[in-house]
Amino acid sequence: MDWVYLGFVIFLFMLAVSDLWVGVSNDAVNFLNSAIGSKAAKFRTIIIIAALGVFCGAIMSNGMMDIARHGIFRPEQFSFQELMYIFLAVMVTDIILLDVFNSLGMPTSTTVSMVFELLGATFAFAILKMAGDSGLGFSDYMNTEKALSVIMAIFVSVALAFVAGVVLQYLSRILFTFNYKPGLSWKIGIFGGIAVTSIIYFMLIKGVKDLTIMTPELKTWVDENTGLLLGGCLVFFTILMQILHWCKVNVFKVIVLIGTFSLATAFAGNDLVNFIGVPLAGFSSYQDYMASGGGDPTTHMMGALNGPASTPFIFLFAAGVVMVLALAFSKKAHNVTKTEINLARQDEGEELFGSSKAARSIVRWSNSTARWVVSITPESVRKWIGKRFDKTYIEKEDGAAYDLVRASVNLVVASMLIALGTSLKLPLSTTYVTFMVAMGSSLADKAWSRESAVFRITGVLSVIGGWFLTAGIAFGCTFLIALLMYFGGSVVAAVIVVAGLAVMIHSNIKYKDKSEAKTDSEFRAVLSCHDEDKIWTLFSKYVASNETNFLNGITDKYLAITNGLFDENVRPIRKASNALRDEKTKLKNLRRKETVCLRCLDTETGMKKSAWFHMISNNREQLYYAIRRICEPVYEHVDNHFSPLPAHYVSEFRLRRDRMAGLISEMSEICSKGEFEALRDTDEKLKALQSEFSDLRKALMIDIQSKQLNLTVAYLYLNILQESEQITIVLRQLSRASRKFQLG
User: Domain coordinates of the chain in residue numbers?
Assistant: 2-514, 522-743
pLDDT of residue 425: 56
pLDDT of residue 207: 54
Lowest mean pLDDT among 31-45, 47-61, 350-364, 617-631: 350-364
Q: Output helix, strand, coil percentages for the chain, rounded to the nearest 5.
A: 80, 0, 20
> Which candidate, 576, 551, 550, 546, places its Cα nearest to that of 561?
576
Q: How confident is the model at residue 309 (pLDDT cuts 50, 70, 90)?
A: low
Q: How far apart are alpha carbons 443 and 409 in whole angstroms? A: 13
Q: How confident is the model at residue 518 (pLDDT cuts 50, 70, 90)?
A: very low
Q: How far is CA 188 from CA 178, 183, 184, in A?
A: 14, 9, 5
pLDDT above 90 for 628? yes
Strand partners of residue 73: 142
Sign of CA dihedral 301, 306, 312, 317: positive
pLDDT above 80 for 439? yes
Section 252-270 average pLDDT: 81
pLDDT of residue 445: 84
Please report which residue ranges of 142-298 form alpha helices under DSSP H.
Answer: 144-176, 187-202, 216-224, 226-246, 251-271, 278-291
Q: How far is CA 457 from CA 365, 397, 448, in A?
A: 13, 26, 9
Section 36-65 average pLDDT: 76
Section 204-232 average pLDDT: 72
- Residues 62 and 211 sit within 8 Å (Cβ to Cβ): yes
pLDDT of residue 520: 62
pLDDT above 70 for 379? yes
619 versus 202: which is more confidently predicted? 619
Q: Which fold has domain 522-743?
A: Methane Monooxygenase Hydroxylase; Chain G, domain 1 (1.20.58)
Section 165-194 average pLDDT: 85
Residue 301 phi/psi, 5-degree rounding, is -85, 150
